[in-house]
Structures are given as C-alpha cells and as structure tokens.
Structure 1
Amino acid sequence: MTDLHPTLRAVTDRIIARSRDTRTDYLRRMDDAATNRPGRAKLSCANWAHAFAGAPVKDKLTAMTGSQPNLGIVTAYNDMLSAHQPFERFPNIVRQAVREVNATAQVAGGTPAMCDGVTQGRPGMELSLFSRDVIAMSTAVALTHDAFDAALCLGVCDKIVPGLFMGSLAFGHLPVVFAPAGPMPSGIPNAEKARVRALYAQNKVDRATLLESEVASYHSPGTCTFYGTANSNQMMMEVIGLHLPSTAFVHPDTGLRDALTAAAAKRAVELARSGEGRMSRVVDEKSIINAIIALLATGGSTNHAIHLVAMARSAGVLIDWTDLDELSSCTPLLARVYPNGSADVNAFQAAGGVAFVVRELAESGHLHTDVTTVMGEGLEAYYQEPVLDENGKLVWCDGVTESLDPDILRPVSDPFQKDGGLRLVQGALGRAVIKVSAVKPEHRVVEAPAAVFDSQEAALEAFKQGQLDRDVVVVLRFQGPKANGMPELHSLSPALSVIQDRGFKVAFVTDGRMSGASGKTPAAIHLSPEALAGGPIARVRDGDIVRLDPDRGELTVVGCPDFAERPCAPRTEASLQTASWGYGRELFGAFRHVVGSAEEGASVVFAQPPAGPPGTDTPPDPNVVDRTMDA
C-alpha cells in the first residue's frame, strides 16, 4: 500500500486533533440514536397507520409486518432546474425497486431548490446561499417522522447537495445514499458561449444573439455541463462514498441511469438490513479530506471553500481555509474542464471520469483508502464503472487505467500543474480564497489602483461608461453573508474578462462569492471578515494601491501606513434597504443577523454551539478553531 503524502498526513492529524471533542460528541449522539431501535418499532399503531394511510395495499401489507425496511426519499425535484427535472419519475423507480427486495419506500419530504443560473444578477440570488441551510432544515423535517430505516437523497445542484448532506447528518445513525440525475448532453462549445457573452457585454451583439447562444448551451434535462458547483457536488459525493461508483455523469432518461437509481435504492435497503454503512461512519475526517483533495485535483468550484466547512461541521469535523491551502499545495491538478479548460463534463467522463481520478489519487498516496463507503470498506469499488449487459442487467467493470484524452485528464505522474490551484490569500484586507487553476500565470499577480463599489450594478455601470479601462482592482464590498446573504457575482465575469482582454491588469476583490465557474481573471473572494462585520475591506478607498499575489499568498494595501487606523466606510441607506426588502429577502432578516462568517461556513445552523443533553457539558463551539492544536 502506497504511503500517504506527508502533507496530507500532517493536515489530517491536525484536523483530527482539532475536531476531537466535536466529533466525539457527534458520534455519541448518533450512537445513542442507533440504539433506540428503528422508527417502526417504537411508533404507536396509530402513528404507524398514519405513515402508510395513503400507500398502496401491497406496501401496507409489507409495512404491517413491522419487520421490513422502509426507505425515506428526500427529493429536491422541481421543473425549474434542468438537473432536477428527471427526479419527477425517480420515486416510482425507487418504490418498484425496493418492492422487489420486500421493502417499502416513501417520499418523506421535499426541499426547495433554487437555480443560480436563473437568479444570477437578480435579487433572488441574495437568498441562494441561505437556501442551503433551509434545505438542511427541511431535510431534517422530512426525516424527523422517524419512520425510516435508511434514506435516499435526490439532489444535484449548487446549494442542494450541501444542504441535503448537512440535514442527513443529523440522522447519521441511518444509512444514507445519494442518487444523482446526471448531466445534459453537450451543447455548443463553452469557448463559443464565453465569446458571445463577452461580445454582449461590449454591446457588439444584441440580446437575441445572446439568447440563441445560451439556449444552445442549456438545452435539455440534466446538469449544466461546465464544471461548476453542481458537478463538483456530484464528484465529491462519489469520492466521499455516498454514491454508487461512477454514477455522477451518466445522462438522465437512459436505461443505465434508471438501473443505477434502482440499484442505489436496493443498496440502501441492504445497508438498513445489515446495520452497516451508517452515514455518521461514512462521513468522517478522512472522507472529508478525500473530498477536498478530489475537488482540488479536478479544479472544482470555489463555493466549496464555504460549503465544505459547513458540511464537515455537521459531522463534528472542523476545517478551515489554511487546511484547504496546504492540501492544495500537495495536490496535483489532473483535469482541465471548463472553465479551467475547453472540455465539458461529458468529455471528462469519456476520458476516464471520476473512476480514473480516484484510482490515480489513491494509488499515489493522495487519498485516504482506509475509509467506509456505502459500498463497504476502502475505495477500490470506486475504480469501477457501470454498464448494461446484453440482457439489460447492471454490471460493474474496471474503469480505464490510462486517460483516453490527456488534454482533459492526466495521471499523477504528468499533471497539468503540481498544485490544486485553490489558494489562501491574506494580509491587511483579511483572509480570502482564490482559484488560480483557470488563470494564466501572467495574469495572476496584480498591483493596481482600487475602484470601490457597494453594488454589482454600480460596478457594471462603471464598466459600461469606460471608467474601468485601465489597470484596476475592482473592490466590491457589503456582499457578505451578514450584509445581503453573500450572492454570487458572476454577472461581473464577462466585464472583467473584457478588461483583461484589452491588455490591462485586472483583479477582483470581494466579501461576496464569484461563482462555481470562476474563470480566467484573478478573483480574491469570500473575504473575511466582511465589510458589515468591520472587515478591513470597508476601509479601502478609490485609488488605494491593492496588491493581489496568490503565488505569495498576499492580499494587501500598498503604501498606506495609516490603513489600519482608518474608519470603516458606512453602508449606504439605499444599499441597506435594497438588501433587506423585496423578493422574499425580508423573510431572511434573522438569518443575516446570526449567520457565521464565510470561513466558518456562512451557516445559520452552526451560528451557535449545539446544547448538550441534560446532565452533560455543552460541547465546544464549532465556530471557534483552536489554533493551539495546530502546533
């Protein structure tokens, strides 16, 4: 067995030590729940009758035996998300599959599922990140009926999978399997889509031309085919071991996808009967680290610098951006998928996909292999790929051992670059993350005068007026979780790209998010502390020289000795009112008040430490990272 990379081992030991108390408390609670018998054994007859009152007769008869597993389905189905539209028919596939093994399945509940592609640049984007914690809460509401022996989660996109993950971990005494829907077939090339967007930003093509391009790109059921947050989610669920192997990027509405969905349901029933594969044991320090490594190795979404922190804390595991930065330093970049290259996820899958990545990383000492998955012990099952045999039966075969397209996917021995491309930058402006895997080396270091804005709209207007046609660091503040829910600011991407293409040095600094599709211009994002919490970004003035140097890990203000003594700029009343009212934003005032910082996962779930049961000490606050453990 290959030895672990020494940096991976050191970071793992540090996280385990830091998480000792919170992880122990979490496992104690899950163990207590596991010894409290399945729901069907403790619900009264009236309770149990209510649970199956609307079920078909065959399912009622199975349930009345009191001895067969009942699978709870938590679904994020809606028609608005192309990736989630296929889930409309999944519950029937699942019900029929488990009947074949003498079990039952019920839709326990649904969760909201926003499409960031629809809300980009719109007021609704300010609810996007908060929707993750709403999804976690609604998952808990669904499963709290306590009538289930296992759960099957149906979700794909940006906040949905992290929310399902967080909510399910509150029921980590159960086996939980995640079943995706897969990507849409490839549309127009991603480079062509980006080209038309840039032309539209410069008023060189009309809206009809832009719409024609976008429709040719997003054109059918399935996940958008670029490697943003949604597809990063699917890759990570696989590496963590909550998917069946190689299921992430199989197209919807195919015989293979239906067979995989049925197999996932049957596997959840098997785990319920055996008592193995509890989610609390699948998700631990090592599996979380595996997810981070795989994200870095494939150039995945920057959103997970926030999501993974919150997801890990749901299992009592404490990670921070220093951990991500150090893991990135030892993780080879194995994939070039848009926006880190021109290929889409379908080409990535054809070249070898997740199975190839897992094998390469595991066999080179870049993944922990002593882990538990829904398939059992170890990661070897995740080297496999599913196919249908001549009789239409699902079978598993070995995945490719050599990349079928080295322009898209490479081995550890010949990576695209030696590090993962996600870096921590820090200094006078605080701590932020930057994804450099899609940024050419000559564009990464920027030192230029700041242009300061308090809204995305103001920054775009300045671009349209030609005020940003120069070397510039665009500073956009009051975009953090406390200010307005921390929206993605992807609508700025075409404008920033145009400035760079005109030959100017350009960078973006914000306490908001950019996008899971962060692209070719350097962007220091998730800056903490945020402006509304007194973060130094509120002290920056137009014309200040800001230096962003991801190679040295620097984000600072140059030649301003009194910077730390400056008063923070106040938030304008207009900005406050816009963020507080309309499009449902008034309903989330309490969230903005209590939410944690970006580096703490920007969560309301973990804004306060959970109280221990009567007679025990309250566990440590999971929002506080004890640096004494790091020595």
Structure 2
Amino acid sequence: MNKQIVAITERIVERSKTTRANYLAKIEREKSETVHRASLSCGNLAHGFAACGKEDKAKLRGLNHSDVAIISAYNDMLSAHQPYQTYPDIIKAAVAETGGVAQFAGGVPAMCDGVTQGQPGMDLSLMSRDVIAMASAVGLSHNMFDGALMLGICDKIVPGLLIASMTFGHLPTVFVPAGPMPSGIPNKEKARVRQQFAKGEIGEDKLLEAESASYHSAGTCTFFGTANSNQLVVEVMGLHLPGASFVAPNTELREELTKAAARQVTRLTQQSGNYMPIGKMVDERSIVNAIVALLATGGSTNLTMHIIAFAKAAGIIINFQDFNDLSDAVPLITRIYPNGHADINHFQQAGGMALLFKQLIEAGLVHEDVETICGRGLTRYTKQPVLENGQLTWVDGATTSGDPEVIATTDKPFKADGGLKVLKGNLGISVLKTSSLRDGSFVIKAPAVVFEDQHELDVAFKAGELDKDFVAVVRFQGPKARGMPELHKLTPPLGVLQDKGYKVALVTDGRMSGASGKVPAAIHLCPEALDGGLIAKINTGDMILLDGETGELTLLVDDAELAKRELSQFQVNGHHQGMGREIFGFMRRNLSSAETGACSLFSDEEK
C-alpha cells in the first residue's frame, strides 16, 4: 500500500474513533437474530403483507424467509431512471427463486440538474438529497425487511440513498444501477455549440438540436459528471456487482445483472448464515478507496460534499484536507469528458472498471482487503460480467488499455496528482478542480467583479463588460443562502472569455456542475457569505489571488481596510419563493457548511 494513503486512512480512523464506535454499537442493537418482522404484532404484520399474494403471505407468516425492500427513484421523465420501470417485477421474481419475498417499500424523488440548471428549481437540488434520505427512511421504517435494494443513479439520488443505507446500517444492502445511454454527439462538439450560442452566433433552434443529439435516449448522460461519478464510487465501495456500473440499459446483460443483484442481497441476510450489513461492510478504508477512485478518474467535485455526508452517517469523519492530501498521492489515469474528449462508453470500451481496479490495486492505491457485497477483497472486481450461452458469468477483465488516450497507467499517468486542490487563505477554504484546467491557467491574479446571481454575470457578458482579466465573485449561493445551486450557466460565457485569451476565474460559495472544470473555479467556499464569510466584504476591483499550484486563495486587501467594511447583506429578491422553495426554508436554515457535507440531517454537534 502507498504509505501516504495508509497514513491518511489511519488519521481518519483516529479522528472517527468515538463516532464510529457509537455507530457500530447502534447497528448492533438494531440487528435481529431472526427476521425483523418477528418483532411485529399480528396486526402490524397483517398490514405489512395485506396486499401480497397467497404464496408471499405464506412465506412472510413464517420466520425462515427474507423480506427484501425495494427503494426506487424511478420516474419516466428522467432518462437515467426511466429504465427502472421494469425492475420491481424482475427483482421480485429473482428473490422468489431464492425462497424470499421482495416488496416495493417506497419511491423517492429524483430531480435532474440538467433540467433545472439556471432555473428556480435548481435551488432545491442539493436539499433533495436529504429529502431522498428521509423518504428512504420512511420506506424502511416499517421494520419488515431483512435486506434492501437501492435503485438510483444521478446527482443527489445515490448520495441520499447512501445516507439512508448507512442510517439503516444493520441491513445488508445492494445498489442496482441502470447504465448509460448510447453515445450521442461528441461532448467537445456540444461544448462548442454552447459557446457559439453564448456568443450569439447561433439561435436556440441549433442549440436545442445539439442538446437533443447529446441527450437522446434512456440511460445516464454519458459525460463524467456527478451521475457517473456516483456509479464509479458505489462500485469501488463494493456495493455494486463487479462491472455492473456502465452496462447499457435495456440489454440482456443488464437484466441478468439486475436479477443477480436481487439474489445477492438474500445471501447477505441473517437468514443466509452469511450476515453482512452495509454499516459494517463500509468502513474507513472503503471511504478512502472511494475518494482515491474519484481522484484517479477526475470525477465530479460534488462528491467532495456527498462522500463527507454519507461517511458521517456511518460515523466516519472526512474533511476537505483528506481529499487534498489523497489527491497528492493519486495519479490521474483517465481522460473522460470534461477531463478529455471520451465519454463513459469509451471508458467502458477501453477496459472500464475492471482495468481501473486492476491498476489501482497493483499500484497499492486502494485497500484491497475490504468487504464487498461479493465477499472480502477487491480483486474480484477486476473481472467483468458476460453472458455465456445466456448465463451470467464473470471473466478476467482487460489487463491493458484498449485506448491509452482514455485510460493510461499509474506509471505514465495523464497527471501526477488527482486533479483536486484545496485552496486556503483569508477568504476561507474551497475546492478547485485542476484535472480539466489548461496549462497556464492554474494561477490567476486579477481584480474582482462581484455578482450576487449567476444571471447578472450573463447580462454583463452580453453587454461586453467582461472583456478583460478578472475573477468573477458570485456570492450568496451557499447552502443557507440559496440551498447551494449549481452555477453551470457560468461555464459557457467564462469559457468564451478564456478562449479570447483573457485570464478569468471564479470564486463562489456555490457549486459548479460535475461536468465543469475548464475555468479555474474556487467553489464550495466556507464560510459562506450568509455565515459572515469574508467573501461578503469583497468589492469590485479588489485584487484576488487564486493559486492552484500552492493552494492559496487570498483577497489582497489590507486588513485595516477590511476591518472598516461591513458585510454585504443577502438580498432574498424572491429566491426563497416559487417552484416549491418556500416550503424548504426549515431545511435551508439547517444546512451545514460544504466542508461538513452541506447536510441538514445531523445534530448541531455532528455538523
């Protein structure tokens, strides 16, 4: 094992000693030596299986057969989740073959950042993660279940399902993916068309034509944003079947993997004699493995918050510095858009997860001896699923890259580090994604131009007011102010200015899309403006230094001058009303900082 990774793991274990011990004690108290429904009264149980068929009722009356919960994010508007429509029947039949019963325990909301980018609904996006966790908890709270299957893909859905799974850590749990859509127009071409539209060179008809050619069928969006980063992280944590993450939907192989996942969870229940609850299976080493894989592939910065949040639900304390230090130890070995031109299907064809596992294990960058849903050890994840005569089996995965422009080696990586840098200075602490930055754009020293809404920047851009070197400061976008919406609408105009030769950067207490990275952006800034962060004292014209090499983020204004300034006040201006935002006030007010997961679900002490 890499000594630096071992040392970081050990400090996480030490930091989490008390909270992890309390968590393990909790799930030990919540487990059952028999089926969980044995604790229900006759009236409770009758309600629990009232809608079941005669055969399932007979099984659930007894105490020998497992009852598996299905929690699903299915809806047919979102391409990634539409394939889940048929999964419950497939799962129920597969679990029945093992002698058990599967019940659809609950549905959870699934919103799409792609639909809500730049819209009022985006203000609900991050908070939807906590709603998903709570909705999952409602479904599992009936205490009927001995295991769970989690069906979800995209940005906030998987992290929400993970928070719930860790909260119900006494249950064996398997995650069931649905796979990416076929490749559409190249991502580079899509980005080019967006910039053409931002410059006014084409109209909405051409833009919609390009977008529709990119997002064109059922399945996950093919760029390496938060959704596909989620899938990669879940598989590296051993919660998917090996190689399940990026198999296309509506294929025979995908259906057989779904059946196998359903059967697998029954092998982990108390009744199986091989009890392995998710809360015990996922430990500090699993979390470190997840971060390492995210960094090695240049994944979404949204996961910096999500991993912190679901790790905390398991009693494990992670912070931004852990990401920074692991990034120093981990080379970047994939190029997937926005870090390159390839999409997730090209990654799969070049060797995919099996090759990634092989490289990370051989380089000593991950803890191999962790528990997974398939048993101890990540080596089994170097195999890939195939159908042989209609039967699902696993064969050895690729040992070398099918496309060195997509998957490199740890000996000759695309970048010596993992492409994530934590920036610190008088403005606070923030995260910078460096894996997609061009040479020469790591250090920006320029005057600030302050905005309090991303749309204000777009107006200034269209008016020609931003043809210069500058640092865009977009504040009052943090968790407590706005619910931390993504600011992906900023990417095209800032990218246009960068292409013109101007040195531009972004500093914000908000988020950028998981598909961003071309423009240097200090995001997730803590403390946020509404919490009294120094960002609330910046004036247009103040010099700012953003240094992605040394890790510095400094407002270059004399301390005496700053002491004279008052903090700018957040102007609500309707941002808390409309599109449902008015009913999320209680949650918005209770969100923790980005560095502690931007989560509303933990007590003040745990935040």
* Matched residue, 1:137: 134
Deviating more after overlay: 518-527 vs 27-36 = 27-36
Q: Residues of 1 paired with 2:52 and 2:60: CA distance?
A: 10
Deviation at 1:566, TM superposition (A): 4.1
1:322 and 2:321 are equivalent in the alignment:
yes
Cα distance, 1:579 vs structure 2 = 1.8
Work out whether residues 80 and 115 of structure 1, in 8 Å CA contact, stay in contact via their aligned partners in 2: no
1:590 paired to 2:595: no
Amino acid at match of 2:484: M
**Which of 410, 420, 423 is residue 418 of structure 2 equivalent to?**
420
Counterpart contact for 1:536–1:568, Cα < 8 Å: no
**Separation in 2 of the partners of 1:530 and 1:170?**
28
Residue 352 of structure 2 corresponds to: 353
1:225-277 Cα offsets, whole Å, 9 max, x none, are 00000000000000001000110000000000000000000000111123422
Deviation at 1:54, TM superposition (A): 1.0
C-alpha displacement of 1:37: 4.1
- CA distance in 2 between counterparts of 1:146 and 1:284 reads 24
Q: TM-score, normalised by structure 1?
A: 0.95
Question: Is structure 2 residue 585 aligned with structure 1 residue 622?
Answer: no
Give the corresponding residue for 1:39.
Answer: 36
Match of 1:195 among 192, 197, 205: 192
Give the C-alpha shift of residue 563 in structure 1: 5.0
Partner of 2:150: 153
Query: Which residue of structure 1 aligns with residue 510 of structure 2?
Result: 512
d(CA) in 2 for partners of 1:309 and 1:548?
25
Note if 1:580 corresponds to 2:573.
no
1:122 is aligned to 119
SS of the residue aligned with 1:301?
coil
Q: How far apart are 1:432 and its partner, in Å?
A: 0.3
CA distance in 2, matches of 1:269, 1:194: 45
Q: Would you say 1:234 and 2:231 are equivalent positions?
A: yes
After TM superposition, where is structure 1 displaced by more than 4 Å over at least 4 residues in a row? none
Inter-partner Cα distance in structure 1 for 2:134 and 2:506? 34
Contact 1:240 1:290 in 2 (8 A): yes
2:606 corresponds to which letter in structure 1? Answer: P
Shift of 1:215: 0.3
Partner of 1:434: 432
Task: Determine the structure 2 residue equivalent to 1:76.
Answer: 73
Structure 2 unaligned runs (5+)?
none
Secondary structure of the 1:580 match is coil
Tell me if the contact between 2:35 and 2:63 (Cα under 8 Å) persists in the aligned partners: no
1:266 aligns to 2:250 (yes or no)? no
Contact 1:286–1:368 (8 Å) recurs in 2: yes
Q: Which one of 97, 106, 109 corresponds to residue 103 of structure 2?
A: 106
Give 1:220-619 correspondences, 5 Å limit: 220-272=217-269, 273-390=272-389, 392-562=390-560, 564-572=562-570, 575-606=571-602, 608-609=603-604
Q: Report the residue type matching 1:596 in the other structure.
A: S
Q: 1: CA distance between counterparts of 2:274 and 2:573?
A: 52
Q: Does 1:176 align with 2:173?
A: yes
How many Å apart are 1:570 and its aligned residue? 2.5
The structural deviation recorded for 1:604 is: 0.3
Deviations 1:102-149, CA, capped at 9 Å, x for gaps = 111011001111110000000000000000011111111110110011
Give the whole-Å Cα distance in 2 for the aligned partners of 1:258 and 1:524: 42
The one-letter code sitting in structure 2 at the alignment partner of 1:367 is: V
- Count, aligned residues: 605
Residues 333-364 of structure 1: CA distance to partner in whole angstroms, max 9, x if unpaired? Answer: 01000000000000001101111111111111
Distance between the aligned counterparts of 1:317 and 1:35, measured in 2? 24
Q: CA separation in 2, counterparts of 1:466 and 1:496?
A: 12
Within 1, Cα distance between the matches of 2:569 and 2:52?
55
Counterpart AA for 1:242: L
**How does the TM-score come out when normalised to structure 2?**
0.98
The question of 1:53 aligning with 2:37 is answered no
> Cα offset for 1:42?
1.2
One-letter amino acid of the structure 2 residue matched with residue 177 of structure 1: V
Give the CA deviation at 1:35: 4.1
Q: Secondary structure at the match of 1:67?
A: coil
Counterparts of 1:386 and 1:157, CA distance in 2: 23
Residue 64 of structure 1 and its aligned partner are, at CA, apart by 2.4
Q: How big is each residue's C-alpha offset from its partner over 1:79-118, in whole Å with a ceiling of 9 and x where there is no partner?
A: 1210000001100000011111111101100111111000
Matched to 2:465, the amino acid is: Q
- Report if the CA contact (8 A) 1:484-1:592 is conserved: yes
Give 1:160's aligned amino acid.
I
SS at match of 1:349: helix
SS in 1 for 2:124: helix
**CA offsets, 1:391-413, max 9 Å, x none?**
x1101001111111000001211
Partner residue in 2 for 1:613: none
Q: CA deviation at 1:564?
A: 4.1
Distance 1:22 1:441 in 2: 42
**1:558 Cα shift?**
2.2
Give the letter aligned to residue 183 of structure 2.
S
8 Å CA contact 1:199–1:205 kept in 2: the answer is: yes
The alpha-carbon deviation at position 47 of structure 1 amounts to: 1.5
| Contact 1:318–1:622, Cα closer than 8 Å, also in 2 | no
Please say which of residues 515-524 and 184-193 is displaced more in the overlay: 515-524
> RMSD across aligned C-alpha pairs, in angstroms?
1.1
Q: CA deviation at 1:440?
A: 1.1
- Letter in structure 2 aligned against 1:515: S
Structure 1: distance between partners of 2:331 and 2:356: 11
**Alpha-carbon distance between aligned partners in 2 of 1:205 and 1:228, rounded to the nearest angstrom:** 26
Q: Which residue of 2 is the match for residue 612 of structure 1?
A: none
Determine helix, strand or coil for the equivalent of 2:495. helix
Structure 2 distance, partners of 1:564, 1:146, is 56
Post-superposition CA distance 1:368-394 (Å, at most 9, x none):
11211101001111111000112x110
The offset of 1:48, in angstroms, is 1.5
Equivalent residue in structure 2 for 1:163, among 157, 160, 165? 160
Whether the aligned pair in 1 keeps the contact of 2:151 and 2:175 (CA below 8 Å) is yes
Equivalent position SS for 1:446: strand
